[in-house]
Amino acid sequence: MNSKAIARGEIYGRHVIVKSIEEARKVYASGYYGKPVDVDKPSGPEFESPLILNPLEASYLAEKGLLEVYDGQRMLSPEEVKERLLASRRLRLLYKVYRDLREKGLVVRPGMKFGCDFAVYRYGPGIDHAPYLIVVMEPRESIDPIEIVKTGRLSHSVRKTFTIALPEGSRVTYVMFKWVRL
């Protein structure tokens, strides 16, 4: 491994698996990346299983030089990793926001259970609750007002700020909704 890398992963379809338990723990502990296999809610990096990284996580870690990704015996460059894992326009759009949030020092986890793209933490799951729920949209994409109300009500009921992320070029604009009673 290069001097900066903390793990080696194998590409499987659209995911990367870190098989070494020791390396999997290092990756998870470095910023709550990935999901340990067969562990519902890890309470920390003390798990005994490989780690599955989604396309966004693996691409980001490869870009940062923290993860070496292999396809069989061949190590892929960070550009090749992104090309393989971020094949759709939607994934590339999500990656822009994911990368921006990570660069701001935030912990970004999948938001599927909240009906959004990301749940974003200041410190990490188990340490604090995610204060933000993020939906990623194209800058000129329209949204049904009913969707704003539905997502807003859900985010308010779980005490999180509903945010729409609009990536355009190298910038990401965030529109946050605050619900008030009149």
The CATH number linked to 15 is 3.40.1170.20
Q: Is 12 a catalytic residue?
A: no
What pLDDT does residue 134 have? Answer: 95
Count CB-CB contacts under 10 A for residue 94: 22
Determine, yes or no, domain membership for 157.
yes
Q: Do residues 25 and 77 share a domain?
A: yes
- Do 110 and 81 lie in a common domain? no
Task: Indicate if 129 belongs to the active site.
Answer: yes
Domain span holding position 31? 7-85
* Domains: count for the chain: 2
Q: Do residues 17 and 81 share a domain?
A: yes
Does the annotation mark 178 as catalytic? no
Q: Is residue 95 part of a domain?
A: no
Domain boundary among 19, 52, 85: 85
What pLDDT, on the 0 to 100 scale, is given for residue 148?
Answer: 78
User: Is residue 182 included in any domain, yes or no?
Assistant: no
Report the DSSP pairing between strands 171-177 and 7-12: unpaired
Q: What average pLDDT does range 114-124 have in this prediction?
A: 92
pLDDT in tens, 131-164: 999 999 998 888 888 887 777 777 777 778 899 9
Q: Output the average pLDDT for the chain.
A: 92
Mean per-residue pLDDT, 76-83 = 97
User: In this structure, what token pair is assigned to residue 96?
Assistant: 């822009």
Q: Where are the alpha helices (DSSP H) in 19-54?
A: 21-29
Q: What angle, rounded to 10 degrees, do the helices at 55-63 and 78-85 form?
A: 170
Q: Which of 28, 33, 95, 121 is catalytic?
A: 121
| pLDDT at position 127 over 80 | yes
The catalytic position among 26, 129, 156, 178 is: 129
Q: What is the DSSP string of 47-68?
A: --S-EEE-HHHHHHHHHTTSEE
Closest CA to 16 of 49, 45, 44, 56: 56
75 and 118, same domain (yes or no): no
The answer to whether position 90 is within a domain reads no
Give the mean pLDDT of 14-40: 95
